[in-house]
Structure 1
Amino acid sequence: MTSVISLVEHAPAQVFALAEKVGRALAATRILDEAAPDPYEPGMWRLRAGSKVGVVALAVPDAGTVTLRIAPKVPVARLFFLLGYSSDPHGWRDGTVDLAERDELLPALAHAVERQTDRALRRGLLQGYRTIEESSLVVRGRVREAEQIRRRFGMPLPVEVTYDEFTTDIAENRILRAAGDRLLRLPGVPKAVRTRLLHQRTRLADITPFTRGQPIPTWRPTRLNARYHQALHLAGAVLAGSSAEHLPGGLRMDGFIFDMNRVYEDFVCVALREALRPYGGRSALQAKNLHMDEGDSVRLRPDFVWYTASGAPGVVADAKYKARKRNGYPNEDLYQMLAYCTALGLPEGHLVYANGSEPHTGHRVRRSGTVLHQHALDLDQQPTALLAEVQGLSRRMVAGTSAYPS
């Protein structure tokens, strides 16, 4: 039996009639903010999505397959822009990916991956060098002496060797195949798109498929693989958002999940970094080696810190996707930012929310004089306007520093 559960990010809880096994399986995925039996209606389960969006197909033993779809609140095209800009701010703009006017996340993503894969492969498969380690009856490349001793106990054959081979079975092609394979396993991909994905997989038939649990191979953007860049960014988004494939109790899950908290945080940090480039200095995303106390026992990790050309801290910011209070912003965010400002010796700190009741509020802390700013970005606007808003925000941040006073 196959059933479909559709939810919306951060929407109120809904009640569904579910078998006990299915309800407990959904709770075990830890994708939903709430998955619990309804206290008033036996056989009913309350389900509520949080900040995670995407699609997963969950195979429950003796209960069939359940497809969980969580739609983002932002338009699908805007989600693609946030993902794309974070991965490649210079090469990605709205309209780079043709979504064919699709409003649902899975059909749009499957269509975009197929189109970009097709464009990447039009001139044939990319070739490159791949390091091979194997047992061989002839010496080729370099002998792995330590492995020869450990595995062969002094026997001359076979020989443990390593060598570089010029082949199409490289990381770039393996990533494209893996993303297509994952999308083909999901119900809900339109028939026409599924047919085209199968055609792309045929073109990649000689590429080694991923095995479950295998890490995603790394690739480096170069001039030689430039035609693959957009396809690889999209494929990487599918694979990076891949859900856990094995869960307790024999559960198996295929799909992809994006955490909107992380998507928004990555976008804000990258956009601020790009906006602050004209001022020199350097930007640190997920800044490390920062402590609140003199004994360095209490670690702090702000999302974004910009250092001036002299190396002194100039701007500190944290991205907050969801404010948990209906009216205003959470007080605990202010406490966190105050700790960052104190540790860095900065007179101002900035919290950047996704939407809000007003575009900006500020709080001057008693006795210390530290000013904590709370900004709200409007994600509903077009990418050009959104980036312009970040530019204005960066100017405001820099104006509050001693290096660039207003």
Structure 2
Amino acid sequence: MSSLRTLSVLEHEVIPIVNGDLTSGLLRVWLTEVEAQILLNLNQVRKGFCQRVAGGIKLAQYCGVVKLGTCILEVLPKVGMNVDCAAGELDRARTALLTMLHSARYLTIAEIGSAPQTQVKAPLLDVFIEAFLHCALVQAKRGLISKYVGAEDNLPVIKGRFNAHGHLRHNLGKPHLLNCDYDEFTPDNAYNRAVKATLEVCRAWIQVSATQRLWFETYSRFSNISSIRTSSAAVARVPQDRTTRRYHALLKWCEWLLNMSSPTMSAGTADAPGLLFDMNKLFEAYVTRLEETASDDHQYVHSQKPQMTLATLQGAGVFTLKPDITVWQTEPGQKAPSITRIVDAKWKRLSPLAPNWGVDQGDIYQMLAYAIRYKCNHMELVYPGPDGTISQLQDLPVFRIDVGDNSERTIWITVRAVALWGT
């Protein structure tokens, strides 16, 4: 993989298609016709991932890494206000994506979680591999998981169960040996074999020398484990219980990285690469996590519930409502908590110079429907801060809606922005 070029692009960007090398040197990023077709094939499993437009391939809201046959495509979130990709925007976008993935608990990335970074310059795939290596190394230092593994061998004494058929087949001329089936408690099991297989697969993908050194340190911890070839689907089928709970994050990394090495993907079919994230869902999970962190002992935060219908038609409920986040409060002397706020996360760009900051009219109608059906007066629309921060934001709009002829009820819809990395 070290010979493959890495393309760093932003969501919704149009990637030009070139048919030769005459013009490719003048472009920041470009695709060949074969690479473009591989991306289009991904729509079979990632509906709406990209589309063909005049001049190239236009991406949608998915971000992450796609491994093509001749290059690595790194898709990053659009966090800047400029139409074109400004200097340093790719590094800031990479930081924003990793921060959201870690905070939303999609991935465990220790460096992002321990101290907010201003820029992440390493390629996204290298960052993912480094996080996997750290995760594997931590578990190896704690001690590799050991499990009972079935084995068959010719032994001088009976161990486990004597196998008469195997003894006749192997030991007719060896009276001093007995063929036995037994269980051996060993770290050389499916869990650690999956980790070693992933280590061997991702070695060739590493571009940063520090990550290479970390790979050698981690691999040495698994030197006594058998080398096998496995797949992401096989790792997903490995049984997990309370005794293997500490390997949960590590095995998830194995699934994602092994999916990157899918032979069908490199051949150009529509197998999903496994390292793509829908930014709408990721931002919703990120905002949910922020709300959970900010809540106190008397507050409860729920995601995607409760579901209710807005209207009825012939006695049946229609137009299902499913708010992103509901915040519940328990008041003193109150038996059951009640909804005090409804929060909707919008992965859209605010426009400070536009009327109403560019808030979409349809989003206001949606919040009004929530307010009426859930009988809640305090609503919030949450957006990513322009340029990924909120330090320069002032006078974000608060919309007031009076309900009833006598203004007997007032609904407040507050627009709020959140930072995508530490300020």
Q: In which range does the TM-score fall when normalised by the shorter chain?
A: 0.5 to 0.7
> Quick one: which of 353, 364, 371 aligns to 1:341?
371
Unaligned segments of structure 1, at least 5 residues: 39-44, 60-64, 133-139, 141-163, 383-406
Does residue 381 (structure 1) correspond to residue 422 (structure 2)? The answer is: yes
Does residue 47 (structure 1) correspond to residue 57 (structure 2)? The answer is: yes
Deviation at 1:268, TM superposition (A): 1.0
Residue 296 of structure 1 corresponds to 317
Q: TM-score, normalised by structure 1?
A: 0.65
What is the correspondence of 1:164-175 to structure 2 with a 5 Å cutoff? 168=187, 173=192
Deviation at 1:375, TM superposition (A): 0.6
What is the correspondence of 1:121-200 to structure 2 with a 5 Å cutoff? 121-127=140-146, 168=187, 173=192, 176-177=195-196, 180=199, 183-184=202-203, 187=205, 189-190=207-208, 193-194=211-212, 196-197=214-215, 200=218
Q: Separation in 1 of the partners of 2:255 and 2:367?
A: 30
Q: TM-score, normalised by structure 2?
A: 0.62
Q: Separation in 1 of the partners of 2:109 and 2:125?
A: 24
Identity %: 21
Does residue 232 (structure 1) correspond to residue 250 (structure 2)? The answer is: yes
Once the two structures are superposed, residues 5-28 of structure 1 have per-residue CA deviations (whole angstroms, 9 ceiling, x without a partner) of: 624323643423154443222222
Task: Assess, with a 3 A threshold, how the Cα gap between structure 1 residues 206 and 273 changes in structure 2: closer, same or farther.
Answer: same
**Higher-Rg member (1/2):** 2
Task: Assess, with a 3 A threshold, how the Cα gap between structure 1 residues 129 and 311 changes in structure 2: closer, same or farther.
Answer: farther
Q: Separation in 2 of the partners of 1:117 and 1:299?
A: 43
Q: Separation in 1 of the partners of 2:370 and 2:254?
A: 32
Task: Assess, with a 3 A threshold, how the Cα gap between structure 1 residues 332 and 210 changes in structure 2: closer, same or farther.
Answer: farther
CA contact (8 A) 1:242 1:257 kept: no
Once the two structures are superposed, residues 194-251 of structure 1 have per-residue CA deviations (whole angstroms, 9 ceiling, x without a partner) of: 56546645617348764354473575778x866x67x639827946997998579745
Instruction: Classify the secondary structure of the residue corresponding to 2:414.
Output: strand
Q: Separation in 2 of the partners of 1:243 and 1:299?
A: 40
Residue 165 of structure 2 corresponds to none
Residue 211 of structure 1 corresponds to 231
Aligned-partner residue type, residue 314 of structure 1: T
Does residue 316 (structure 1) correspond to residue 350 (structure 2)? The answer is: no
Q: Separation in 1 of the partners of 2:202 and 2:296?
A: 37
What is the correspondence of 1:247-258 to structure 2 with a 5 Å cutoff? 250=269, 254=273, 256-258=275-277
Q: Separation in 1 of the partners of 2:395 and 2:196?
A: 43
Q: Separation in 2 of the partners of 1:98 and 1:206?
A: 38
Aligned-partner residue type, residue 397 of structure 2: T
Instruction: Classify the secondary structure of the residue corresponding to 2:122.
Output: coil
Considering only aligned residues, what root-mean-square deviation do their CA atoms show, in Å?
4.6
Once the two structures are superposed, residues 300-324 of structure 1 have per-residue CA deviations (whole angstroms, 9 ceiling, x without a partner) of: 2111112233232222111112238
Q: Separation in 1 of the partners of 2:145 and 2:75?
A: 35
Once the two structures are superposed, residues 261-308 of structure 1 have per-residue CA deviations (whole angstroms, 9 ceiling, x without a partner) of: 33221121022123213224x321121432222432321211111223
> Quick one: which of 97, 109, 117 aligns to 2:128?
109
What is the correspondence of 1:62-73 to structure 2 with a 5 Å cutoff? 65-72=70-77, 73=79
Residue 13 of structure 1 corresponds to 14
CA contact (8 A) 1:5 1:66 kept: yes
CA contact (8 A) 1:179 1:238 kept: no
Q: Separation in 1 of the partners of 2:147 and 2:384?
A: 42
Q: Separation in 1 of the partners of 2:75 and 2:285?
A: 21
Once the two structures are superposed, residues 43-63 of structure 1 have per-residue CA deviations (whole angstroms, 9 ceiling, x without a partner) of: xx423444322222223xxxx
Deviation at 1:332, TM superposition (A): 1.8
Instruction: Classify the secondary structure of the residue corresponding to 2:397.
Output: strand
Aligned-partner residue type, residue 318 of structure 1: D
Task: Assess, with a 3 A threshold, how the Cα gap between structure 1 residues 22 and 93 changes in structure 2: closer, same or farther.
Answer: closer
Aligned-partner residue type, residue 398 of structure 2: G
Aligned-partner residue type, residue 22 of structure 1: E
Q: Separation in 1 of the partners of 2:261 and 2:289?
A: 25
Unaligned segments of structure 2, at least 5 residues: 20-31, 80-91, 151-159, 161-182, 331-335, 387-392, 405-409
